[in-house]
Amino acid sequence: MKILLNNNDLNEAINNVSKLGFVPTMGSFHKGHISLIKKSKKECNKTIVSIFVNPSQFNSKKDFDKYPRNIKKDLSILRDLKVNFVYLPSKKNVYHSKRSSKIKLNKKDQILCAKFRKGHFEGVIDVMDRLTNLIKPSKIFMGEKDMQQLYLVKNYIEKRYKSKVVPCQTIRDKRRFALSSRNLLLNNKQIKKARNLINHIFKFKNRLKNKKNILKLLQQKRSDLNKLFDVKVEYLELRNFKNLKISSKTKNSKIFIAYFINKVRLIDNI
């Protein structure tokens, strides 16, 4: 495994690689990341994984500072997986040039997390644009756990590059709670609470089938969740998973949720 610490190392290593698979990450690996890497290894000749905690996608310096980092453990996981390249850029490596035009979300995209985390997706798209431009992979592997991110990045990147963005299914623990690096910020009691809440939503979604007053039921459920689980639900919406439009039928739709357990913000789609 080659560890690439700057853009010269990167260019030298990936020059001439055909069918390169790219897995962008912020590190602190769990089985979700590992599933993306395995898919890339299966579908591509070589795989490059980046670990970069991108400051421009965080809403506060505090959130950025407390984001979990485990670089030693991550490198050992990547070695075991026999990944070809790991790219560990500095902020300067990624942001070495100024953008010619600012990234702006369309009005129709200012929904779900974009509504509550101003500037977040602009930061994500900016870094993905820069990384794709540096790496020029054939395929980029991204998780459905972050469905809105996947949707926005796929639309942006596939319009501008030859790279294809490949959706990868959400990996959950035995109790169906989605794995996330942010789960490391939760204590056992809080994890238990999140698991119960997510199981509650799975059951609720089943009961929504063929119901006519779905919007009202969602509204009611949202306030019930706050009371039942002592959380703060930011949004709870049923949306079509292809175009993210509000849906009144469960077919081709998922329940999108963002909620806070104490100060930790979690998202999922079910």
For residues 179 and 198, which CB has a smaller minimum distance to ligand AMP in the complex? 179
Three-class SS of residue 255?
strand
Which residue's structure tokens are 């993306």?
36
Q: How far is CA 243 from CA 67, 109, 124, 254, in A?
A: 30, 10, 19, 11
The residue count for binding ligand AMP (CB under 6 A) is 17
Strands 253-261 and 232-240: antiparallel
Q: Where are the alpha helices (DSSP H) in the chain?
A: 7-14, 31-43, 61-66, 71-80, 91-94, 112-116, 120-135, 147-160, 188-208, 214-229
For residues 52 to 81, the per-residue mask of contacts with ligand AMP, x marking binding by CB under 6 A and - elsewhere, is ------------------------------
Please identify which residue in 168, 186, 201, 267 interacts with ligand AMP, judged by CB under 6 A: 168
Compose the 30-49 pattern: x for residues touching ligand AMP by CB under 6 A, - for all others.
--xx-xx-------------
Dmax over CA atoms of the chain, in Å, equals: 58
Q: Which is nearer to ligand AMP, 20 or 214 (CB)?
A: 20
Q: Catalytic pick from 30, 33, 120, 200? A: 33
The least CB distance from residue 15 to ligand AMP, in Å, is 25
Question: 30-49 burial, b if ≥16 CB within 10 A, otherwise e?
Answer: bebbbbbbbbbbeebebbbb
- What is the x/- site pattern for ligand AMP, positions 231-270, by CB under 6 A? ----------------------------------------
Q: Which are the catalytic amino acids?
A: 33
Q: Residues in the site for ligand AMP, rule: CB under 6 A? A: 25-26, 32-33, 35-36, 142-143, 145-146, 168, 170-171, 178-181
